Structure 1
Amino acid sequence: MDAERMSGIDPASSPSGEGCAGCLAGEGPGWWFHLRRCAACGRIGCCDSSPSQHASRHARESGHPVLTSFEPGEDWFWNADTGQFVDGPAMSPPHAHPDGQPVPGPAGKVPQDWQQHLH
């Protein structure tokens, strides 16, 4: 097994979609602030500022601790177990949600008082 897979990163994994898989499945209020991508399997989840914090939950429950941003222009990796940024390889595209997707999102699901619901 190569070092990237051993560190919990599979650069060939594809994103699970264009938005948080948990929110879109109806788990929680159904909207997110920012998106994160599991570096091991590609599952898209919402960030820890979002009401449901699906990305960190996935990291804990799946044993896939390394997350990467799924926001345009961001390319960092975060280890949820250690609470530290880590180095990572280029991931397979797409690297972010579509440019036209609003933040927070998705369109039509975000409450007007969304700032009051952030963590």
Structure 2
Amino acid sequence: MKKTDLILALAAILAAAGIWLFYSAGADKGLTAVVTVDGEVKAEMPLEENGDVRIETEAGYNIVHTENGQAFVTEADCRDQICVDHKKIEKVGETIVCLPHKMVVEIIGEGEAEVDMVVG
């Protein structure tokens, strides 16, 4: 390996680490998990409280759980189970999506509006 290749590889690693630190350290811890189905708010779950909510849709159901300041999907009857396998979320702007059920779990913080943008 040439010296320039080593310098380039090191620069790429440092850039990736910097970007990761910027995004992970810069996000605020959320206060509420908002569950929407097809754009309609179905539940708002404070992250400081532990609990479950069952979300029923025409296509099936999901169970969203909050515990220790985090939200996650514990159970769903969709075939791919991506929402169940998703990591726990806790920072403002993080989401879990279940496409078959058109369900989105989003973490919001203090003073945030429910609608971020309207596209017509």
Which TM-score bucket, shorter chain as reference?
Answer: under 0.3
Work out which structure has the larger RCO, using CA pairs closer than 8 Å and 6 or more positions apart in sequence. Answer: 1
TM-score between both structures, scaled by the size of structure 2: 0.25
TM-score, length-normalised on structure 1? Answer: 0.25
Q: Normalized per residue, which structure has more helix?
A: 2
